[in-house]
Chain A
Amino acid sequence: MLRVSEALRRRGFLGMAGAAGLAAIAGCGTATAEPKQGGRLRAVYAGGGAKEVLDPHVQSLFVDIARHKAIYEKLVELGPDLKPVPRLAAKWDHDGTATTWRFTLRDAKFHDGARLVPDDVLYSLSRIADPAAPDRVAQSSLGTLDLKRSKAIGPSTVELVLTEPNAEFPALLAGIGTQIVRNGFKDPSKPVGTGAFRYVSFEAGRSMVASRYDDYWDGPARIEELHLLSADSDARANAVQGGQAEYANDMTATFARTAEGGKTVRIVAAKASTMQAFVMKVDQAPFDNPDVRLAFKLLADRQRLVDVVLAGRGEVGNDLFGKGYQYYPADLPARERDVDRAKVLLAKAGLAGKEVEIFTADASAGFVAAATLFAEQVAEAGVRLKVSTGSPQTYAKDLLTKGAIGNHRSGAMPIPQYVTDRLLSHSPFNVTHWRRPAFDAAFAAARAVTDEAERSRRYGVLQKTLRDEGGILAWGLPDYLVAVSAKVQGVQAVPPNTLDQGRFDKVWLA
């Protein structure tokens, strides 16, 4: 398959060359008039070929998430700071221990005219939890839900019971793959939701067409028709510049730089809303020594990494996930580069002059470049970092088992969810092998605290420990870039996975 990889590598070159022709394009000026009705919006996302699904509980790609967001809704969504905000659930409260929760449902109607009732919610949650369907993505995050004890309380209130207290439960209901479907929903190829758009057609890897749902509880969309298309990065760039699409998701910094010179395309950047990091395994030599971990954190020239790898589209990281999100300890000082101190620490650890292997792959934009540049920065302290490149497709799995240090990136999610998925002893994606029973216990205790200020304080303490002793070297916080045609209005600059990202019921065509 040499030819294939060749073709794919060539495509990387194409993006730049194609974009270079853009500066010359003339177009109409931007108009910020009042919202207009009607029209068709074509939005293009990174495609997943046959992997794309119509089943809202199986999704994992951005294009799937966008598709299901148009047709279905969740009880709860995430705001721009990743804090839960009401959607199908108008409000919620708990029994004082964060174990039994009551959600009041909104007066929403499904596309077939049926009113949303508690049984729809209970059915949706049981469909997600179905042990016979291992591909339901929210299965583990909603694992503490006790469906046998959960029940309807009246016509529009549903009571959900947990097996252990969790003050973050509403945020879990806002996670990936938690959409509310109709009671008895069996056939994903006939989607019926409460969302702003009705399903028209779907072809995996190509497109989904949906039309405006006039009875939408949050006010009908302005656009008449929504097309969600799939294409790789360069085709997205060509499509939005060539007028085959009005919205292109997840664009590269290189594209943004050239696009901003023209007039046909506008870049909407959600500042510093994702994370790029190196992850060191705290149970493996040489990173089982805290001095070595700290030395590596001190060696990273973060600004240079951001300038080169992210083409300046982002901020430097402070070895923590979730800047700008709820519970982020913003008062911690920024980590400065200190090669001399790092040298002392490395000498103490006996690592000076030694070689360490960094495991990477072309799995995500900038991974190999970041690893290579970091190797140069580490070399200044006399440690050789040998870059070893693996298969991009299996990188997610390989990272858990191969190499002592590697690349890691994360999209937007609430901080407690990040910790749950990656930093507890039994976390499925514990890429730094951070396993400390005391940390687990302190986190579980904090998560059960119902007072938000106190909970936030406790999370802050845990995050400071992670920053100082953990294996995550978060060097950069990339902007999340979306390109829109100049006539598209109302697109919000918010992190991915939040309510207002890709909200096509709120945009209009000028």
Chain B
Amino acid sequence: MRSYAVQRALLAVVQLAVLSVLVFALTSLLPGDAADLRFTETLTPSQVAALRVELGLDQPPASRFVHWLGNVLTGDLGTSLISGGPVADIVRGSIGTTLVLTLATLAVVVPLAVALGIVMGTRENGRVDRAITSVTVALSAIPDFVIAVLLVAVFALKLGWLPATWVGGNLLSSPALLILPVAVLLGRTVCLLSRQVRAGTVAALRAEYVTQARRLGVPRRQLLLRHVLPNAAVPGVQELARTGDTLLGGVLVVEAIFAIPGFATALVDGVETRDVPVVQGLTLVLAVAALLINLAADLVCNRLVPRSELLR
């Protein structure tokens, strides 16, 4: 297993290198640069030209990239072209918020999806199974922004129970800020995950060893927890790792709607202002996170059901 982890780590480094070149190249392809975008009604063309020199944007792209790479290798993510502050601060600030949002969502999603999945799986094709399936599939089919509009209109603007946006809010003083965004993010992830847990449960219940255990008179509760759940969880954990991008897409919409100053907001701002170091820094951190999550998912599955290693 150690050699497997080493292999994965090496692959990850190669992936990161390719990704950082790609992100740099793609952001360079966008029309205009950070100095151009300062060209509004307030700065004259000659001031913009001077700014371009000051920001180092007059240097050829290759040398800017090498310079950036050199900094990253020494642990320095560089300086924002827009704010002039360290990119690391922007990354830390925005990722922190998104992490809170994501963890809060997972804290609700995981138990809910596992419970629903097992309930459905143990009542395969029964009335309860079909009812839960209909509701979760229907919910996941509604776009995030529609759910968000409805929730805001009802719970924030009409009833006034919850804050409508994060504008002016502070998570520490009003945790209620999390409720609506998390509710929006729940929709699709719960559906996807519970489907997987359901499938795993059904498969496990049909498996030879469960039949055998049943024959031996293992109590139902113990059977489910000890023998069915670990096997049912495997597709769930893999799905969880895979739905990272689904969740990220949702986070993007949710951050936009609720004006949450998180990762997606920072990335959109970075792209819109051609702040290449910020875009690079955010993507790099995101890529590392994705790689780690996938690695962790594989290791967890391995631990849950060691024999699945044979399948690789």
Contact, CB under 8 Å: B47 / A135:
yes
Contact, CB under 8 Å: B164 / A241:
yes
A455 within 8 A of B: no
Partner of A244, one of B85, B163, B268: B163
Partner of A428, one of B45, B160, B278: B45
Given contacts A50-B83, A242-B165, contact A4 B160 (CB under 8 A): no
Stretch at the interface among B12-20, B151-159, B188-196, B226-234: B151-159
Residues in A227-243 with C-beta less than 8 Å from chain B: 227, 229-232, 234-236, 238-239, 241-243
Residue of A nearest to B257 (CB): A14
- Report how far A404 CA is from B37 CA in the complex, Å: 22
Interfacial chain A residues near B249, Cβ < 8 Å: 3
- Report how far A99 CA is from B31 CA in the complex, Å: 43
Residue of A nearest to B258 (CB): A235
Contact, CB under 8 Å: B145 / A397:
no
A421 within 8 A of B: yes
- How far is the CB of B66 from the nearest CB of chain A, in Å? 25
Interface string of B251-278 (1 = CB under 8 A from A): 0110011110100111111111111001
A257 within 8 A of B: no
Interfacial chain A residues near B96, Cβ < 8 Å: none
- Of A50, A135, A204, most buried by chain B (CB within 10 Å of CB) is A50
- How far is the CB of A488 from the nearest CB of chain B, in Å? 15
- Of B46, B143, B259, B264, most buried by chain A (CB within 10 Å of CB) is B259
A42 within 8 A of B: yes
Contact, CB under 8 Å: B31 / A394:
yes
Interfacial chain B residues near A21, Cβ < 8 Å: 152-154, 157-158
Partner of B168, one of A42, A59, A397: A42
B90 within 8 A of A: yes
Interface string of A389-413 (1 = CB under 8 A from B): 0110110111000000000001000
Given contacts A3-B252, A50-B275, A205-B261, contact A397 B32 (CB under 8 A): yes
Task: Give 22 CB contacts A-B under 8 Å.
Answer: A1-B271, A4-B268, A7-B252, A21-B154, A21-B157, A49-B82, A49-B265, A49-B269, A49-B273, A59-B42, A134-B48, A134-B50, A140-B44, A206-B261, A227-B168, A229-B167, A230-B167, A232-B259, A239-B167, A244-B169, A393-B272, A396-B41
Residues in B lying within 8 Å of A, measured CB to CB:
30-32, 36-48, 50-51, 54, 80, 82-83, 85, 90, 143, 145, 148-149, 152-154, 156-158, 160, 163-165, 167-169, 249, 252-253, 256-259, 261, 264-275, 278
Residues in A lying within 8 Å of B, measured CB to CB:
1, 3-4, 7-8, 10-11, 13-14, 17-18, 20-22, 24-25, 42, 44, 49-51, 59-60, 134-135, 137, 139-140, 176-177, 204-207, 227, 229-232, 234-236, 238-239, 241-245, 390-391, 393-394, 396-398, 410, 421, 428-429
